[in-house]
A and B are shown apart, each in its own frame.
Chain A
């Protein structure tokens, strides 16, 4: 017992095995065969598969097998109706990164303006407070109508949801730069441009990076939902499509992949934050 506690990863592996075993026991006893719906059958049955009442949660083995198949054909694009899962993931990632980048470009300068000039902050604050709590998905129908393109709409949704954490963190970061650093800048007479570039910006980097991490997390949450509405590609569309085909195993594979990609995004930003933030 002490050895397990001494090595937390052993605990993680143990818990993983336990959960998989539990999952197996719970699912294998039911209509296990039906759960792993044959892909040929699904293609033939199409939408009507959803009407099958006998579908059940697939066993871990079935999900693993399905995962193997999906990954084997991950980059397959020979059949336009059966695009590989990697393309869907990349499509979603592309939308997230594009919307996120747009939000970053707007949030950082605007955040500095909010943080440095109380007038700007007080003038814009009511708008921020009203817009921020709106679920990004509430914009979706309006975006679809305005842009007439589900991909562009998804990017817009990502932009909207990724904006706020970065905007607010940048503003807080800029407003709370240590007085001693501001005094250094004042005593040595740094002109405005250098004051911002050499003092305010580097001092705010840790807060900006925190905002970026929160934003990318939310963006990755939201893209799945955004793509379920109206999109013709992306991992959200993939899940919705597999649901319509009652391909539960595929859905679970996609859910696991979403988790792994989200972890990857966060680790990447955490690494960047460590590299770019100053040490004390």
Chain B
């Protein structure tokens, strides 16, 4: 964990608003992510954490500052920074297999033969335990399964950095827990670099090496950074009794509800 793999350098993001004003969402954010590191961005809703993720993805370009991935400046989106979207974003007219194949074909289509592409798709879907539902359409499977396909699609592109935008936000608590466990398992196995947006404190601690806490918008900044030094593999049941886990939890809660407390709505 020496060289910075992904670097965000003094990034600000302002959106034009009606009239001729500007809405400053992010104000000079700088952060580094090391290779194989799992970083969570946490903050209240509207703090611009998804905006930061979209900037890293290259879906939007910063008003100021720069982002680079492996020393190469980010100038637009690309499969080296594959994303798992909040709302799964599967294409409903394609089967799960075809959804993943779309990504695989794009990334490996020029270098690999058809049978190898097929293998990659099947491998990715097997990794998320969906080999039985491969040829089903998204409307035929549950919300949790859809999000697994979304994860498989992103992983199948063999990204340098995997970006997750509140991937479990729309799921019920039990499904969410099982998908978190699955993500822990996958990430520990393939040691990929991950940046994930969440507003779930337990999720952040369970998954992260480092948690970046963002202040409330507008003009959000990085308020605090917490290094999670819990041994891996992590188990959610063991963690519940771990004093270090409780201390981390306390730290995050204090930041979110004391320092960045929101007025009751």
Contact = CB atoms under 8 A, between A and B. Distances in A.
Q: Which of A199, A202, A278 has the most CB of B within 10 A?
A: A278
A40 interface: no
Given A202-B93, A279-B139, A280-B92, A187 B87 contact: no
Interface in A151-210: 180-181, 183-184, 186-190, 198-199, 202-203, 205
Contacts of B138: 280
Contacts of A186: 59, 76-77
B116 interface: no
A181 to B, nearest CB: 6
Interface stretch (B101-109, B200-208, B243-251): B101-109
A263 B103 CA distance: 43
A189 B77 contact: yes
B interface secondary structure, majority? loop
Given A183-B83, A280-B138, A188 B103 contact: yes
B92 A184 contact: no
B85 A183 contact: yes
Contacts, number: 55
B186 interface: no
Contact of A181 (B76, B91, B107): B91
A120 B82 CA distance: 32
B120 interface: no
Contacts of A205: 93
A205 B92 CA distance: 12
Interface bracket on A: 10 to 19
Contact of B79 (A187, A203, A280): A187
Nearest to B150: A184
A181 B89 contact: yes
A231 B128 CA distance: 66
B81 A187 contact: yes
A180 B170 CA distance: 15
A180 B82 contact: no
B59 A188 contact: no
Nearest to B90: A184
A183 B102 contact: no
Contacts of B29: none
Contact of A188 (B76, B92, B139, B157): B157
A196 to B, nearest CB: 14
Contacts of B82: 187-188
A190 B153 CA distance: 14
B42 to A, nearest CB: 22
Contacts of B157: 188
A188 B87 contact: no
Nearest to B104: A188
B57 to A, nearest CB: 6
A187 B77 contact: yes
Nearest to B88: A180
B79 A188 contact: yes
B139 A187 contact: no
B91 A187 contact: no
Contacts of A279: 92, 137, 139
B103 A183 contact: no
Given A180-B85, A198-B102, A187 B93 contact: no
Contacts of A184: 85, 89, 91, 102
A189 B79 CA distance: 7
Nearest to B103: A188
A180 B77 contact: no
Contacts of A188: 79, 82, 102-103, 106-107, 157
Contacts of B107: 188-189
16 contacts: A180-B87, A183-B83, A184-B89, A184-B102, A187-B77, A187-B79, A187-B81, A188-B106, A189-B78, A189-B107, A190-B102, A198-B102, A199-B91, A202-B91, A278-B93, A280-B92
Given A184-B89, A202-B91, A279-B139, 11 more contacts: A187-B77, A187-B81, A187-B83, A188-B107, A188-B157, A189-B77, A189-B78, A189-B107, A190-B102, A203-B91, A205-B93
- Complex A-B, nearest 10 residue pairs according to Cβ-Cβ distance, in ascending order: A278-B93, A180-B89, A278-B92, A202-B93, A186-B77, A279-B139, A188-B103, A187-B77, A188-B106, A280-B92
Interface of B: 57, 59, 76-79, 81-83, 85, 87, 89, 91-93, 102-103, 106-107, 137-139, 157
